[in-house]
């Protein structure tokens, strides 16, 4: 297809299917004329999570606070995509400031799962994952702080990668928790993930945590032999709370790897039980500090008739932020406050080091780790919205990877009896994306789970 045809087809599909799915906040069809060229993504329509800045149109972060915010610049990843010929056709729905696991915390509307519209698509990059699952666009970008690319990818039956911390520049990604945030691609197969990563990875001086590590040829690596893989299975990831259908599907994936010649070894990540507590102290502490910039003065929502200057801050923030964001700011401010800093924040940093060491130890025994991505398949809209703790537990298998800063991918590995997708999570050591993508591609070469399409695609 020509570039113009591809983009027109994506926009037509969005117009036809998105009214029932609500993945898209805005289409950007008025964008610059499509140029010809030979970029790696020439003419490819791409959807971008709405917490990643694009200079055309607005960037809301799923929040009323930024409902009219126009970024004066493109995020680094958006510059890279445009330079590779991609066309940004849409901005996708997400939980407000990327806080949540279901996309229900969007200030605008919830997104629906293309496999079952009564269910959530996961979150926070739920709009991006659902858009790729419904084949509205071939590729999308999300951001992953504690699982927000991998968990929605799992719940929507597509692939999603969280790259190594520092692999992709965060310049132009609205900050949630800066030591954890990383932008990642979503696609239907691993080749698509490799293609997107190829374009967005690499050093950027505007993000001081962006790595100088050279960018390998991820696409070429897919067709090279992985050698003999040793896969570690962390026993703590198969405990209580894991849905039995998910357990069976992940165990079947282990059998598939065995039949492909991999060695399987049980390993232990003994500090896993502290992951959720540690993540929700560190991420809320960082979020409370990052979100202090929304003060009603410089940009974002400003209250209409403030009584005095204190009221500018308090009413603007009270009106602009939704309940989950307020909860995080309060939790984070508490953990950082005098008297509690040592008991919570500084202790959580020590636990983070122990969690990192668990991974170092595990990777001294194997090349790749394998687990479920999410303990349950997609849940019903509304099911967890009144129970923040239940929502936080959706991240039980994804947050430790974020604390360690290592890369992980979620790929489809089956469907439940009620035809909801199941995700398999593979993890690698720092900058081990080549091995990770090769292992994931090897699985997809031997199985067809990633080719299944949701019912909405038949319409």
Question: For residues 143 and 188, which CB has a smaller minimum distance to ligand GLN in the complex?
Answer: 143
Q: Which two tokens stand for residue 247?
A: 């357990």
Question: For residues 292 and 297, which CB has a smaller minimum distance to ligand GLN in the complex?
Answer: 292
Element (H, E) at 168: none
Element (H, E) at 11: helix 3-21
DSSP per-residue string spanning 306-367: -SSHHHHHHHHHHHHS-HHHHHHHHHHHHHHSTTTIIIIIIHHHHHHHHHHHHHHHHHTT-S
Question: For residues 144 and 367, which CB has a smaller minimum distance to ligand GLN in the complex?
Answer: 144
| CA–CA distances in Å: residue 459 to residues 14, 114, 327, 331 | 13, 12, 40, 45
Question: For residues 99 and 229, which CB has a smaller minimum distance to ligand GLN in the complex?
Answer: 99
Question: For residues 131 and 456, which CB has a smaller minimum distance to ligand GLN in the complex?
Answer: 131
Q: Compute the least distance from the CB of residue 12 to ligand GLN, in Å.
A: 31
Q: Compute the least distance from the CB of residue 273 to ligand GLN, in Å.
A: 18
Question: For residues 61 and 250, which CB has a smaller minimum distance to ligand GLN in the complex?
Answer: 61
> What gap in Å lies between CA 119 and CA 249, rounded to an integer?
20
Q: Which two tokens stand for residue 119?
A: 């269910």
Site for ligand GLN, rule CB under 6 A = 98-101, 124, 143-148, 176, 283, 395
Q: Compute the least distance from the CB of residue 124 to ligand GLN, in Å.
A: 5
> What gap in Å lies between CA 171 and CA 183, rounded to an integer?
10
Q: Compute the least distance from the CB of residue 128 to ligand GLN, in Å.
A: 12
Going by C-alpha positions, the residue among 71, 50, 70, 74 that lies closest to residue 61 is: 50
Contact 376, 393 (CB under 8 A): no
Q: Compute the least distance from the CB of residue 378 to ligand GLN, in Å.
A: 14
Question: For residues 159 and 229, which CB has a smaller minimum distance to ligand GLN in the complex?
Answer: 159
> What gap in Å lies between CA 300 and CA 304, rounded to an integer?
13
> What gap in Å lies between CA 430 and CA 191, rounded to an integer?
20
> What gap in Å lies between CA 76 and CA 307, rounded to an integer?
40
Going by C-alpha positions, the residue among 92, 91, 96 that lies closest to residue 63 is: 96
Q: Compute the least distance from the CB of residue 160 to ligand GLN, in Å.
A: 11
Q: Compute the least distance from the CB of residue 221 to ligand GLN, in Å.
A: 27
Question: For residues 96 and 204, which CB has a smaller minimum distance to ligand GLN in the complex?
Answer: 96
Q: Compute the least distance from the CB of residue 401 to ligand GLN, in Å.
A: 11
Going by C-alpha positions, the residue among 215, 225, 163, 129 that lies closest to residue 439 is: 225
Question: For residues 101 and 444, which CB has a smaller minimum distance to ligand GLN in the complex?
Answer: 101
Q: Compute the least distance from the CB of residue 151 to ligand GLN, in Å.
A: 7
> What gap in Å lies between CA 159 and CA 425, rounded to an integer?
10
Q: Strands 230-234, 368-372: parallel, antiparallel or unpaired by DSSP?
A: parallel
Which residue lies nearest ligand GLN, judged by its C-beta? 148
> What gap in Å lies between CA 346 and CA 36, rounded to an integer?
53
């Amino acid at each position: 297809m020509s570039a113009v045809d591809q983009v027109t087809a994506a926009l037509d599909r969005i117009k036809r299917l998105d009214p029932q799915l609500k993945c898209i906040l805005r289409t950007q069809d008025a964008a610059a004329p499509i140029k010809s060229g030979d970029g790696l993504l020439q003419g490819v329509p791409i959807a971008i999570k709405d917490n990643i800045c694009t200079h055309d149109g607005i960037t809301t972060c799923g929040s009323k606070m930024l409902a009219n915010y126009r970024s004066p610049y493109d995020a680094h990843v958006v510059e890279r995509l445009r330079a590779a010929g991609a066309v940004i056709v849409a901005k996708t729905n997400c939980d407000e400031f990327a806080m949540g696991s279901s996309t229900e915390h969007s200030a605008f509307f919830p997104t629906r799962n293309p496999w079952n519209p009564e269910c959530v698509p996961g979150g926070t990059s739920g709009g991006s994952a659902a858009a790729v699952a419904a084949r509205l666009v071939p590729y999308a970008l999300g951001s992953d702080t504690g699982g927000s690319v991998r968990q929605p990818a799992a719940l929507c039956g597509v692939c999603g990668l969280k790259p190594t911390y520092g692999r992709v520049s965060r310049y132009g990604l609205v900050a949630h928790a800066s030591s954890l945030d990383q932008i990642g691609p979503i696609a239907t197969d691993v080749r698509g993930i490799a293609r997107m990563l190829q374009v967005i990875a690499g050093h950027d001086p505007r993000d001081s945590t962006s790595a100088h590590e050279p960018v390998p040829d991820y696409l070429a690596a897919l067709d090279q032999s992985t050698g003999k893989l040793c896969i570690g299975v962390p026993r703590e990831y198969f405990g209580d709370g894991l849905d039995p259908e998910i357990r069976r599907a992940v165990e079947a994936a282990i059998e598939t790897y065995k039949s492909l010649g991999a060695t399987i070894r049980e390993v232990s990540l003994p500090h896993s039980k502290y992951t959720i507590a540690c993540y929700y102290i560190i991420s809320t502490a960082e979020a409370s500090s990052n979100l202090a910039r929304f003060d009603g003065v410089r940009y974002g929502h400003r209250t209409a008739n403030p009584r005095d200057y204190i009221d500018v801050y308090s009413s603007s923030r009270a009106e602009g932020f939704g309940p989950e964001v307020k909860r995080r700011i309060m939790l984070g401010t508490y953990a950082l406050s005098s008297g509690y800093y040592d008991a919570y924040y500084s202790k959580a940093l020590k636990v983070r080091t122990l969690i990192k060491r668990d991974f170092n130890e595990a990777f001294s025994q194997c090349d790749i780790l394998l687990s479920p991505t999410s303990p349950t398949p997609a849940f019903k809209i509304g099911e967890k919205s009144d129970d923040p703790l239940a929502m936080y537990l959706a991240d039980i298998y994804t947050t430790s990877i974020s604390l360690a800063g290592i890369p992980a991918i979620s790929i489809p590995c089956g469907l439940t009896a009620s035809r909801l997708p199941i995700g398999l999570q593979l993890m690698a050591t720092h900058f081990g994306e080549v091995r990770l993508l090769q292992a994931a591609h090897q699985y997809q070469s031997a199985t067809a789970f990633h080719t299944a399409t949701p019912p909405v695609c038949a319409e």
